[in-house]
Amino acid sequence: MQKEGDVRIPSGCAISGIFSRSGKKMNGEAIIRSITTMHDRSNGLGGGFAAYGIYPRNKDLYAFHVFYGSARAKEECEKEIMANFDVTVAEKIPTRKMPEITDEPAIWRYFGLPFEKLLKDTQLDEREFVARCVVKINTQIKDAYVFSSGKNMGVFKAVGFPEDVGRYYCLENYEGYCWTAHGRYPTNTPGWWGGAHPFAMLDYSIVHNGEISSYDANRRFIEMFGYKCTLLTDTEVITYIIDYLNRKQGLSLKEVADVIAAPFWNEIDRLPQAEREKLTYLRNVFSSLLITGPFSILLGFSGGMMALNDRLKLRSMVVAEKGDMTYVASEECAIRAIETSPDRTFAPRGGEPVIVTLNKGVDA
């Protein structure tokens, strides 16, 4: 099988997202209907979903979703996981056999927490410890790939059209307050299970439509801080950039957007002094993390969702609101397939983040 970086296949993708600020749980049927509307934006080489709030019985445990290409990989990976985590559940992820999805790897999930002694010995906080373990598995154990590693959330992806992937993973049986979806039409790379979207690190997940021209500059910078871009795809590097800026550097999501989709210098020059100084600082300090080229992304995270276009808005993205619900999609038809009469519909400007979070006091 050809993997990322072996061949170039040009075209586009589709993204969709649903978020309930009240924490109302929805099963996967609505997001599947939404992404199905944009069937022609993908070509069957990748589809996937991220869902938040789906593991309430294990919400305080990290949920690791893992692809295995061989029995040896499973044995090695489980040895690594069991050595670092107090695992309470280890099971196959439920799937249904269907002719549209073929060449399946073994797909398992594990719920657990890092051993306290290891946290003390390494002097790492819990999330950094988990992130390093994920990077180690994905770079050192052949045919094993951890594709989801957050708490009370999960990524489900495969090679296939997204509507088929949703049925394959039985997403009608999961309920979450936030869903994102992706239909893949690979640019630069062939489709394989690990390369499908969403990409995830801890509770951050990214679905992306576009092709960034700054990939090499972004990759070289981010790999100086312990990340390894093993899949050679721009979506992977976007995920790591957001994890680095938000979790490690403590930037707000608005500031993250001001780094990766920074205003042009002539726009910054016209701003009031305080804002001008702040944006100048961000552009100078994180200049290698400016993402150039066309993109629209949906970031899912625990308790929220962010939509963002490139600063020139070279990729379509529409947002709609209805009561406590927020919808985002590449095309308005994907929103109206699940909400026929939104209260408000708009297209965000280039570089303008749309950030929604759970209402205060909501524990979903």
> What is the domain partition of the chain in residue ranges?
10-52+181-364, 55-151
Alpha-helical (H) ranges within the chain are: 29-36, 71-84, 116-122, 126-140, 162-168, 215-222, 234-242, 253-260, 265-268, 273-285, 332-336
- Examine the pLDDT at 186 and tell me if it is beyond 70: no
Write out the two tokens for 119: 């946290």
Q: Is the pLDDT score of 10 beyond 80?
A: no
pLDDT in tens, 208-258: 988 889 999 999 999 999 898 887 778 899 999 999 999 999 999 999 999
Residue 232 DSSP SS3: coil
SS3 181: strand
Is 230 exposed, middle or buried, given 0-12, 13-18 or 19+ CB atoms closer than 10 A? middle
User: Hey, do 10-52+181-364 and 55-151 end up sharing a CATH topology, with the first three levels equal?
Assistant: no
Q: Over the stretch 134-179, which tens digit does the pLDDT of each residue have? A: 999 999 999 999 999 999 999 999 999 999 999 999 999 999 999 9
Structure tokens at 188: 């630069």
Residues annotated catalytic, as ranges = 13
192 in Cβ contact with 159 (< 8 Å): yes
Domain 55-151 has CATH 3.40.640.10: no
Say if residues 243 and 260 touch (Cβ distance below 8 Å).
no
Fold exhibited by the domain 10-52+181-364 = Glutamine Phosphoribosylpyrophosphate, subunit 1, domain 1 (3.60.20)
pLDDT band at 189 (very low <50, low <70, confident <90, very high): low
Per-residue pLDDT, 191 = 65
Report percent pLDDT > 90 for the chain: 83
Q: What is the pLDDT of residue 150?
A: 98
Residue 11: pLDDT band by 50, 70, 90 thresholds?
very low
Sequence-distant (≥ 6) Cβ neighbours of residue 252 within 8 angstroms:
246
Mean pLDDT of all residues in 10-38: 91
Contact (Cβ atoms closer than 8 angstroms) between residue 11 and residue 187: yes
Stretch (H or E) spanning 106: strand 106-114
Q: What is the mean pLDDT of the chain?
A: 93
